[in-house]
Amino acid sequence: MEVVQVPVLSDNYVYLAHDGDETAVIDPAVAEPVLAAAAERGWRITQILNTHWHPDHVGANLAIKAATGARITGPAGEAAKIPGLDRAVAEGDTVAVGAATGRVIDVPGHTAGHNAYYFADAGVLFCGDTLFALGCGRLFEGTPAQMSASLAKLMALPDATAVYCAHEYTQANARFAVTVEPGNDALARRVVAIDAARAAGRPTVPSSIGLERATNPFVRAGSVAEFAARRAAKDGFRG
């Protein structure tokens, strides 16, 4: 599977996942740059995979569907909120992009029905706004217990799994992370690399499960209560 990152809006990433003669779009916020990225590679968009219902993840569903005939797959728990939905999926279901098979993982917390798509053979995870590089999504609809459990599911994936999250939030997340674990040497080294990448105009995404396990303060919380305290502190952080 080949993955292409398409930066849109102020900090969103839309992804093209290509295998064989199929291309899936993951969480399209806007249509034009996504269609252009596929066209310049000669790729045929056949489907859209949505992780959750927020407009910056589904805003281009109908435009891309009209332009390409793509079939839209999204979380069953949010089916009524996904424009143009053709197939509702939940934990245990699978999706296919060419010869690549992805497993659907339910990861509520940011929204009530949020899901993720894990392509084991390709070592690729599309996790929307559940897990970020050095962060996690705000709890708009879910509880700390739900989000903590969702992150634990993702941390059970192999260390080498590439984490394709939906926003470039890493530098801001890093400023908070170092206040939580000031003695974490792996985190300190990562912050230097993040700052260098952003200064050079490079993305900090994808990350990896192993890197998040070593440095992300939210997945490293020792209890739901500790996770909740860290999430609340991040919500009010202005560093």
Which residues form the catalytic set?
52, 54, 56-57, 110, 129, 167
* DSSP H stretches of helix in the chain: 32-41, 55-58, 61-68, 144-155, 170-180, 185-199, 209-215, 224-235
Which residue in 140, 222, 200, 131 sits closest to 170, CA to CA? 131
The tokens for 79 are 């089916």
**Beta bridge pairs of residue 35:** none
Spatial distance between the Cα atoms of 104 and 121, rounded to a whole number of angstroms: 14
What is the distance between the alpha carbons of residues 103 and 118, in angstroms, rounded to a whole number? 5
* Tokens, residue 75: 């979380």
**What three-state secondary structure class fits 122?**
coil
Query: Tokens at residue 12, please?
Result: 């969103």
Radius of gyration of the chain, Cα coordinates, nearest whole angstrom: 17
Q: Which pair of structure tokens corresponds to residue 139?
A: 């709890």
The residue type at 194:
I
User: Exposed, middle or buried: residue 55 (CB in 10 Å: 0-12, 13-18, 19+)?
Assistant: exposed
Are the C-beta atoms of residues 66 and 77 closer than 8 Å to each other? no
